[in-house]
Chain A
Amino acid sequence: MIGDYGHEVCYAVDGNGRYTLAPSLGWEAKNIVNDQAWATIAAETAKAHRLVKSGELSPIAYYQARHQMDVGLLASYVGMARWRVKRHRRPKVFARLPERILRRYATVFKVSVAEVQTVPDSFTPEQIRPR
């Protein structure tokens, strides 16, 4: 699973019954549950994208989902109270935000101030494919 990044090591018993560290490329059970976690992230991001496009939420909701954050986590990253972040998720409030507040969100999401005010035209769950 992490082939491009080298391999992990796991404990395995050798022919003499001694434990050694052996390279491992992961195994199926582990890949299945990893895929499951990413499918959840992709589904939540797709949902947020849809709600932003339909004008129910501000772009913050999209970037937040994309970065696997809940409101509490995002609030601690931007250094604001949760209720403020929740408020900023409303499109009307978001539209009036000054640049210094937008910048704080942009920095956390590693995008420009212009980018944080929009979302990509389309989003499909396939766009989040870690491997």
Chain B
Amino acid sequence: MDALIPFPHRQSAHCESGVTANLLHFHHISCSEALAFGIGEGLFFGYLPFIRINKLPLTTFRCAVGNILGNVTKRLGVKIRRQKFRSQDEAMATLDEKLAQNIPVGCQTGAYWLPYFPPAFRFHFNMHNLVVIGRDGDDYLISDPVFENVVRCRREDLQRARFAQGSLAPKGAMYYLESVPESPDMAAAVRQGLAAVCKTMLRTPVPFLGVRGIAFLADRLEKWPKKLGEESALLHLGQLIRMQEEIGTGGGGFRFMYAAFLQEAAELTGIAPLLQLSERMTLVGDTWRRFAVSGARLCKGRARPGDTYGELAGILRECARTEKEIYGDIQNLLH
């Protein structure tokens, strides 16, 4: 077996923030997943009916793929090298070359072709991230942050996953850290991350992003049964709940992860009131979960009184309203 890089694999709730935190850890910067998520400006909301996943509209609770890593490295002064490839052979050869130099390499992949994924989660979803940490003949050893332990994957499967097709195709994207500063200013980075999230959530030029986007979705969702018919409305609702709960969000559409970040942020910046905001963010997460529970009952055909599209829209409006207050209060604390 070729040398396995001693990589600190830690399981995380979400792939990209987990990969970012683990890569930093490898370079002796202590950073939790939640901290990476917060500094990286991970929290977001967007309802994008013009982008279709499995013929259904895309709803996202996080920023675009690659942005967390980009923002964290920028704000901490870490130098990162990112590459995409046209040739599959070249992409694999470059990966091997870096591994031979004992450099752990992050890759963006599709989830569908990764054989170690549980079959229930094998969808054409191209925003997965993992770190390749060694090669053993025809197998690669992979620190996939959403899994408990290091996993093995055959070369041809990894190659397929790196060149998955469809929306947001990864095109063999890979990245590794080139140099890290001695002691990065975490508190400053946290402040930047907080300010940026508040800005994108509160001030968007278009109605379908940020807290306005949540209210926009509420209006649309209310009309689904009439506009799309009962059956299609349920599929739209199911997809929305999957985006919120399933795709490595740590629950509640990343709101719990962000609440965890706010706790760490209070400590790092010394702004104590952030602790209360963390509690309020937890409550927002609970509200999102209430939406998921009620919506799922509707999907299963076990609706109880109150499980209607109108009520669901009401829950979303509540989320929009409380989140708006939270981001406003964070902004006031930063001044």
Contacts and interface: CB of A to CB of B under 8 A. Distances in A.
Interface of A: 1-2, 4-13, 17-19, 21, 24, 28-30, 32-34, 36-38, 40, 67-70, 73, 76-77, 130-131
Given A29-B296, A33-B245, A131-B120, 4 more contacts: A9-B11, A10-B250, A30-B242, A32-B297
A6 B245 CA distance: 18
Nearest to B167: A73
A5 B118 CA distance: 6
Contacts of A76: 165-166, 169
B12 interface: yes
Contacts of B300: 32, 36
Nearest to A67: B112
Most chain B C-beta atoms within 10 Å of own C-beta, residue among A7, A32, A34, A77: A32
- Which of B121, B165, B235 has the largest count of A CB atoms less than 10 A from its CB? B165
Across the A-B interface, the 5 shortest Cβ-Cβ residue pairs: A19-B260, A29-B296, A130-B120, A11-B256, A130-B119
A32 B122 contact: no
A30 B235 contact: no
Given A6-B147, A33-B299, A19 B118 contact: no
Contacts of A9: 11-13, 250
B282 A29 contact: no
A124 B49 CA distance: 32
A8 B146 contact: yes
Interface in B211-254: 234-235, 238-239, 241-242, 245-246, 248, 250-251
A36 B251 CA distance: 19
Given A21-B13, A29-B293, A29-B296, A37 B242 contact: yes
B165 A77 contact: yes
Interface of B: 11-13, 33-34, 54-55, 112, 116, 118-124, 146-149, 165-166, 169, 234-235, 238-239, 241-242, 245-246, 248, 250-251, 256-257, 259-260, 263, 278-279, 282, 289, 292-293, 295-297, 299-300
B173 to A, nearest CB: 16
A18 B241 contact: no
A28 to B, nearest CB: 7
A34 B296 CA distance: 10
A33 B241 contact: yes
Contacts of A7: 148
Contacts of B116: 5
Interface of B is mostly: helix
B147 to A, nearest CB: 6
Contact of B296 (A33, A69, A131): A33
20 contacts: A2-B120, A5-B116, A6-B148, A7-B148, A10-B251, A11-B256, A19-B259, A19-B278, A29-B293, A30-B292, A32-B300, A34-B246, A36-B238, A68-B112, A68-B123, A68-B124, A70-B55, A73-B124, A131-B118, A131-B119
Nearest to A11: B256
Contacts of B120: 1-2, 34, 38, 130-131
A1 to B, nearest CB: 6
Most buried by B among A1, A19, A33, A40: A33
Nearest to B241: A33
A76 B164 CA distance: 9
Contacts of A30: 241-242, 245-246, 292, 296
A100 B265 CA distance: 58
Contacts of B12: 9, 21
Contact of A37 (B238, B248, B289): B238
Nearest to B116: A5
A102 B70 CA distance: 42
Contacts of B245: 29-30, 33
Contact of A8 (B13, B119, B279, B299): B13
Contacts of B54: 37, 40, 68
A4 B118 contact: yes
A21 B257 CA distance: 9
B11 A21 contact: yes
Contact of B295 (A6, A17, A29, A69): A29
Nearest to B254: A11
B228 to A, nearest CB: 14
